[in-house]
Amino acid sequence: MTALARTARNILDDVWRTLKLMARNKVGFIGFLGLIGFILLTFVGPSLVPLAAESHMTDIYKPPSAQHILGTDFQGRDIWAQIVHGGKDVLIVAFLTGIISTTIAVTLGSLSAVLAGFFDSFIMWITDIWLTIPNFPVLAVLAVFVKLTNVWALAFILSLLSWPTLTRAVRAQVLSLKQRDYVEAARALDLGTRHIIFSEILPNMMSYIAISLVFSMTSAIYAQVALVFLGLVPFASNNWGVMLSLAWTRGAIFYKDSLLYIMAPVTAIALFQLTLVWMTRSLEEVFNPRLRTSV
């Protein structure tokens, strides 16, 4: 067996073990499969399902058929195709926000717990103040002054709003882990700060960090779709928020036939949120070092 084949085998083993851990929690596993489904839908789907941009005035609000599985919208365009093409912005902004805010939170939170003293009180004071200011109005007002036209700008602003909750959580977690027996033992054995942080504390926090990441993703989805829906973020392309906004203003409250047009983005967004929340249950099992070694 060559070395390459061996590493490939190791990776496969790892993946298999992770999947087995995932499957320990049924709801979590469904969430995980759902997430894979959404990723495939939004990143692979567009190359399979063509998006028709032109309108067909004869096909307005058609019920589902073999040609249009979710029917058509107020301009006779296929709804399913819009769903497939509309998830990209939402997913990318969510992932970016999750990663940026988790990075800030893990850095500040663990520094706060380790350094203690003035730095700690200062950071906690800022998070305290930041947490009492209602997020969405801040975002709505900021959107007027800051051009949030690309996903990076939007993700950055959303991260600015979600880091305090995570920072506090990470700090609390580090504080409690610092006093565990195995950390004390490592310290008594003089294993070094780096070993303590990377081999003792971080692995035990991974599940926590992963779950926080997912929750900051869900709040990013909440906020960005809302901003697009209110017309505060000018996304020209297809996007679930844009669909929602159009469906709302162009038909949902007047025409009975428009039910699928509004329900399609509603269901997509709600399902994606649920998928993420459910997946957190499996993440707990996957990142738990005790389970990891025993399976």
Looking at 5-13, 183-191, 199-207, 220-228, which segment touches another protein (CB under 8 A)? Answer: 220-228
Say how far apart CA 13 and CA 11 lie, in whole Å.
5
Which CB, 171 or 186, lies closer to another protein? Answer: 171
Looking at 72-80, 87-95, 125-133, 188-196, which segment touches another protein (CB under 8 A)? Answer: 125-133
If we measure between CA atoms, which residue out of 111, 82, 142, 127 comes closest to residue 267? Answer: 82
Provide, rounded to whole angstroms, the least separation between the CB of residue 264 and another protein: 12
Residue 115 binds another protein (CB under 8 A):
no
Say how far apart CA 61 and CA 7 lie, in whole Å.
54
Which CB, 34 or 46, lies closer to another protein? Answer: 34
Residue 14 binds another protein (CB under 8 A):
no
Residue 135 binds another protein (CB under 8 A):
yes
The terminus-to-terminus CA distance of the chain in angstroms comes to: 25
Exactly one of 35, 140, 183, 191 binds another protein (CB under 8 A); that residue is 140
Exactly one of 266, 284, 288, 291 binds another protein (CB under 8 A); that residue is 266
The residue whose two tokens read 């025993």 is 294
Residue 232 binds another protein (CB under 8 A):
yes
Residue 226 binds another protein (CB under 8 A):
yes
Exactly one of 230, 234, 289, 295 binds another protein (CB under 8 A); that residue is 230
- Name beta bridge partners: 72: 78
CB 59 within 8 A of CB 72: yes
From residue 212, alpha-carbon distances to 31, 64, 134 in Å are 16, 39, 20
Residue 269 binds another protein (CB under 8 A):
yes
Sequence letter at residue 237: S
x/- map, 144-183, another protein, by CB under 8 A: xx----------------------x---x-----------
From residue 58, alpha-carbon distances to 72, 77, 89, 96, 191 in Å are 11, 10, 30, 41, 74
Residue 128 binds another protein (CB under 8 A):
yes
CB 39 within 8 A of CB 272: no
Residue 259 binds another protein (CB under 8 A):
yes
Residue 113 binds another protein (CB under 8 A):
no
If we measure between CA atoms, which residue out of 31, 35, 93 comes closest to residue 222? Answer: 93
Provide, rounded to whole angstroms, the least separation between the CB of residue 270 and another protein: 5
From start to end of 156-212, where are the E strands? none
DSSP state for residue 76 in the 8-state scheme: S
> What does the binding site for another protein look like in residue numbers (CB under 8 A)?
128-129, 131-138, 140-141, 143-145, 168, 172, 218, 221-222, 225-226, 229-232, 244, 248, 252-256, 259, 262-263, 266, 269-270, 273-274, 276-277
